[in-house]
Structure 1
Amino acid sequence: MGNECYLYLGRVMPAWLFALMFTAFAFATDDYVIAGVLPAIAADTGVSEAAAGQLVTVFSLAFAIGAPFASVTTATWSRRRLLTGALLLFVAANWAAALTDSYALLMALRVVAALAAAAVVPAAYAIATALAPEGRAGRYLALVMGGLTGSLAFGVPLGTWVGGAFGWQATFVLGGALGLIALIAIRVTLPDPPAAPAMPIRERIAPLARARVLLGLLGIVAIVMGSMMLLTYLAPFLRDLAGVGATALGWVFVLAGVAGLVGGQLGGRAADGWGADRALLAGVAGFTAVMALFTGLWWLRPMPLLALLPLLALWAAVSWWIPPPAQTRLLALAGSAGPQALALNSSAVYVGVSLGGAAGGLLLEAAGPGVLPAGSAVVEVIALALFWTAARLARREEAGRSVAASP
């Protein structure tokens, strides 16, 4: 069964790749869905909504801190055993969360679930790239990342509906069920790729200290930050631009999730076909153009939402086009430390989410929502400059080694 393949976008993809995508979908849904049932959790646990919101914060923080350590300490473990153990832990943490009304215990269980995710998600990215055929690493990586966009379009609305219909505890039951389905899919389809050879931890992480890798990681932070500056405050931006309310905003997020899923796949294919650098340049150029259009339309408000939907879909598509070539470039910069770089990449994503929310909030308070697109575009261009500098350093190092090796 592990060798079964399925047709996807005109290409035959292995079943295990879809299992990894669903695993990413399960973890991302579990992270984001808290926002949909937050008021109910606050009421039942006797805390404020602001305090309940820290269940999201602690998950993100535990993931960001845990991912690099998990990647280094488990590098020599069997991949199937690592994913099996972490998914079992994830399922147990979610189902235990459904049985408690203690805020402190719920907070601790969110940390456990996040640490399980921190072990699995970077490993899933590394497995996808390691097992990808020559010239198809970008699209394999993009398909796994599609689980993240899919969670926004389908997983979060489903979890919110389940929580509204049956209580917030049912949302955690659903999270555990998704984890169990992912576990079964992994066990049935995934071959056991070779783990990293045993070596001292210092040697394993040494390549990550190179300037080019650090610049690449900063580029990831900037990419996510630029996207989140607008996404975090999309509600006030669209409210003032087109009078969009809560119901319509929900459909906008569904549209954005679907468009982002398509954009991510196209970005992965572009990274393989054009090269990571050209695909990244195209994505940032497209993002900047969309932000310029948003800035211009701000002066024509109010705008009808229907007229904005194509532009919103394009924005989501180019936003998710960018990560696959950016991660492909990061892998090239890291060399043999690619799996560890992917773990740090996951941490960088969460740092970018936090910084995007903070920077966007400052812009919102200082000048209103109309400046958010321009601010987002500036940060994305900075990200491109960071990757360009990192690539230039890499070429210099390669040239230096070539000169040293020549007789």
Structure 2
Amino acid sequence: MSPLEPRPPRRVIPIRAASTTAESEVARVMQICNACRYCEGFCAVFPAMTRRLSFAAADAHYLANLCHNCGACLHACQYAPPHEFSVNVPQAMARLRGQTYSDYAWPPALGRLYQRSGLTLATALAVSLALFLALGVWQQGGGAALLQAPSGGNFYGVFPHHLLVSLFAPVFAWACLALGLGVRRFWRHAEPGPHSLDAAVEASGQALRLTHLGGGHGEGCNNEDDAFSLWRRRAHHATFYGFMACFAATCVATLYHYGLGWPAPYPLLSVPKLLGTVGGISLALGSAGLGWLHLRRHPLQGDRAQRPMDLGFIGLLFLVASSGLALMLSHGTAALPLLLCLHLGAVMALFATLPYGKFAHGVYRVAALLKSSIEKRQPSRLKLADD
């Protein structure tokens, strides 16, 4: 297009100035950091910051989800508390991230409820669903049905396949719908610009490797003190890849059942069983590690108000993994019915709450990484303003 030709009108999205306390604090610390720039090479947040002179709500939300909370900038900052400027980037970003969980959640009321009472809600939902399933078994076969090995020696003797599908399909569909609508709202608000394949590849690699949990210099995160450690990165990797292996096991088992006509149970060395076992062990170790590190982390590194929500999510992940492994070991025993009810209740509670907490943040973070990769390939806003 010639510079003299009229350009087509662009869709204009109103830019809201930072108005909440969390948004205003991110804007304040970013303006101070933009003048200093000592941490410019630490992670993706600071290069993105330098492309801006002011920080509207959309910019603050984007930067907050781009932050991986490694803590390196807090320990390197000369203006950190107790300095009068009180610059604490990890804490400011963490508080605003918590706000984005409810701001972009669908429906918003559930996002606000989970943010306020995440641990209580996760525990109550898992226990109530497990009790509901146990009562269903009791009603069909009496107390003996809960305390003896099921017919056929596997969980289909407790809950038929079609019943499990009818229970889990709506919950899974709800999680996908709510997450999809949430990330769509976040993406439209962020105004990422034109996409490109190389930007998507770069962002995917950064997300899968957790590049920005390297602490700015690749030595790891700061947890309870100034010492660097890679344990947080390792625990995140174990949790994520364990979860994905368990999900892959379910997908393969579904293919076996519907595509090949091979119903469960499967042999110990079958693909679904191997994926589920390795994934369950990895998920259990990773979530336990994240919970331990979360409890030991220095108060200045994050938002203490979000601890119940964070621990609720971590606890559900651990319960799903540990109950799944126990269920596998209980094959053909009298403990199987109760363990199955506990495992299914935990899985349903996990998927019902996925769109409203840390898992949603993981999706928003990938979107923020993609926006960062796209933005790096565009002319700087400041340069355009100078031109």
Calculate the TM-score normalised by the size of structure 1.
Answer: 0.22
Q: Give the structure with the larger helix fraction.
A: 1
Larger Rg: 2
